[in-house]
């Protein structure tokens, strides 16, 4: 189903100093209004990579929020997620399976929290231990945030902020680090945007 989703977006990488941790300025908003996705690479101490990405979705904050907490349907549109298992709702804990190229699979467990205030919503996630999964079959750590802000009745400013540390990778598999970070970030946003806008995918 994901292969049928076609979205025309431009991906623009900006230096950290331009927008990190701030809302986009007028120039950046114009780019986002044209359908571009703006991505910042955030310098990190130690292992792991962090990216912040901005986009505008043509949907309300509530509609966007409802899709992002519909974890059972993530395999329909989230890149490389092949399976989810919801363990509990209070707190929300979900098991994820990633199907990567060359038949590589990774499994990890996240806890999710939601903060709502006026026309803004923050959806946070954090990896928690899954003792039944060996380290080489998982990732070392990941955490992040969806920040949704209303721009109008049916328009939402979306911030996707993610930090990922895949852990040690075998020799010759260094591509996994990039694949799980900067290569997946624009696809997460464009696939989610397409899924929200095309209701035929949401049955």
Residues in CB range of 100: below 8 A, 6 or more apart: 80, 106, 176, 179, 180
Q: Quick: pLDDT tens for 174-184.
A: 666 666 666 78
**What is the band of 63 on the pLDDT scale with cuts at 50, 70, 90?**
very high
pLDDT in tens, 144-186: 999 999 998 899 999 999 998 887 666 556 666 666 666 789 9
Give the DSSP H or E segment for 17. helix 16-19
Q: Binning pLDDT at 50, 70 and 90, where does residue 198 land?
A: confident
Domain ranges of the chain: 14-201
Look at residue 199 in the predicted model and tell me its pLDDT.
65
Collapsing DSSP to helix, strand or coil, 5 comes out as coil
Residue 172, pLDDT score:
59
CA 23/CA 129 separation, integer angstroms: 33
Over residues 81-109, the pLDDT tens digits come to 999 999 999 999 999 999 988 888 999 99
Alpha helix segments (H runs only) across 24-154:
26-33, 61-68
Lookup result for tokens 């509530």? 62
Q: Is the pLDDT of residue 12 over 50?
A: no
* Cβ-contact 93, 84 below 8 angstroms: no
- Looking at domain 14-201, which of 3.30.390.50, 3.20.20.70, 1.10.357.140, 3.30.530.20 is its CATH number? 3.30.530.20
């Amino acid at each position: 189903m994901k292969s049928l989703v076609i979205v025309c977006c431009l991906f623009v990488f900006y230096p950290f100093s331009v927008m990190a941790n701030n809302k986009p300025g007028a120039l950046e908003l114009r780019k986002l209004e044209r359908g571009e996705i703006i991505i910042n690479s955030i310098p990190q101490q130690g292992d792991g990579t962090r990216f912040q990405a901005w986009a505008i979705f043509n949907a309300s904050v509530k509609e966007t929020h409802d899709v992002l907490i519909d974890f059972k349907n993530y395999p329909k549109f989230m890149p490389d997620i092949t399976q989810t298992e919801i363990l509990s709702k209070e707190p929300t804990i979900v098991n994820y399976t990633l199907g990567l190229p060359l038949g590589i699979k990774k499994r990890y467990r996240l806890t999710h929290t939601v903060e709502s205030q006026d026309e803004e919503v923050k959806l946070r996630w954090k990896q928690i231990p899954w003792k039944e999964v060996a380290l080489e079959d998982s990732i070392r750590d990941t955490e992040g945030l969806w920040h949704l802000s209303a721009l109008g009745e049916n328009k939402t400013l979306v911030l996707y902020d993610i930090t990922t540390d895949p852990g040690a990778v075998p020799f010759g598999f260094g591509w996994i680090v990039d694949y799980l970070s900067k290569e997946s970030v624009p696809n997460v946003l464009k696939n989610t945007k397409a899924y929200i806008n095309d209701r035929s995918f949401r049955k």
